[in-house]
Amino acid sequence: MKCYDDAMRAWIVALVLLTACSSDPRTTLVVYSPHGKELLGEFEKRFEASYPHVDVRWLDMGSQDALDRIRSEKANPQADVWWGAPSTMFAQAEKEGLLEPYKPSWAEHIDADARSRNDFWYGTFQTPEVIAYNSDAVSAQEAPKDWDELLDPKWKNKIIIRDPLASGTMRAIYSAAILRAMGPDGSPEPGYEWLKKLDANTKEYVINQTLLMQKLGRREGLVTLWNMPDIELQQTQYGFPLGYVIPRSGTPVLTDAIAIVKGTERRKEAEAFYEFVNSADSLVFAAHRFFRIPSRNDIPRERLPEWMRDLNIPKMDMNWDLVEKKSEEWMEYWDAHIRGAGGL
């Protein structure tokens, strides 16, 4: 199935480019991103209004899917910009020689831990992870308040999860679970045991975010793990009955990043897009419309939504270097030995 999906995606990209070249005199800019059709569509329109000679073509896919595609296309790059995924994935892509260095005009306003030391990627958004639930079926009092409460037998077959193999969000949450349980010897085994117990309560792993929200809305599952901005978006703009809890013991806060893909033939347009989506005006717009917390530290507080001005999120202490090195190994083990085995 993965081979079929990869072949289909490659065919779609080729068709997009062929169609653009044959019927549109504008320069085509291809963006790979997990940010969702709502945000991507809006920024496509806004960018094209400022740069009418550019035709933005985006492909909405999971973070891991984007990295895998860029890897597989290294000899013949199809994307120009990669916009969105945990910074650990961008750091890995940097090591593999998949990105072009670029120092944006706002570089000094990004904290050192939210950027590449060599300018290969920069943080765009800060993304907290949460426990979400169907608020029509689960009250705020009943909802799990912390990670370990997800293991309570009362949630058996009531948890649905976005398949973590393709999702940067879920890979980060699972990596956090392993780090949280890790002993002084650095063994992932206690974390694997925790994930096995979570698997025992998990009804289904769904293939994408859209299905996750639909199934949660239809009560096919009552609880999930996901990122706060998307839960806010689905609740506010689409009326999904959702609530969420920031785990009281702390939660991973991801740095979502952006980079230019190595080998792009549209470097000038890629740089323009990079600058545009991270301008102060664009970040303020994304904060109000899409609940995105900007990585830039120079955005005036009064321009941000009121709820964002005094955020007090208990941040989990994460060893992101270890996550970058080990997450692939951890996820391979989870897929081979834990998925579907928790209830056995």
Q: What is the helix (H) or strand (E) element at residue 28, kind and residue range? A: strand 27-33
Locate tokens 């595609």: which residue? 69
Category of 239 on φ-ψ map: left (φ > 0), alpha (ψ -120 to 50) or beta: left
Q: Using alpha carbons only, what angle is made at residue 23 by residues 21 and 29, rounded to the nearest 5 degrees?
A: 40
Residues 108-146 have pLDDT tens digits of: 999 999 999 999 999 999 999 999 999 999 999 999 999
- How confident is residue 3, by pLDDT bands cut at 50, 70 and 90? very low
Q: What are phi and psi of 222, to 5 degrees?
A: -110, -20
Level-2 CATH architecture, domain 27-126+255-307: 3-Layer(aba) Sandwich (3.40)
Instruction: Name residues whose C-beta falls within 8 Å of residue 266's C-beta, 6 or more positions apart in sequence.
Output: 27, 28, 29, 80
State the DSSP code for 221.
-
The answer, yes or no, to whether residue 17 has pLDDT greater than 90, is no
Domain range annotation of the chain: 27-126+255-307, 127-252+316-338
Q: Which of 255, 256, 261 is closest to 94 using CA atoms?
A: 261
Tokens of 63: 């973070």
Give the mean pLDDT of 18-23: 55
pLDDT for the residue numbered 1? 47
pLDDT for the residue numbered 4? 47
Give the burial class of 30: count Cβ atoms within 10 A of its Cβ; 0-12 exposed, 13-18 middle, 19 or more buried: buried
- How confident is residue 12, by pLDDT bands cut at 50, 70 and 90? low
Q: Which amino acid is at 10?
A: A
Q: Do domains 27-126+255-307 and 127-252+316-338 have the same CATH topology?
A: yes
- Does the domain at residues 127-252+316-338 carry the CATH identifier 3.40.190.10? yes
Q: What percent of the chain has pLDDT over 90?
A: 90
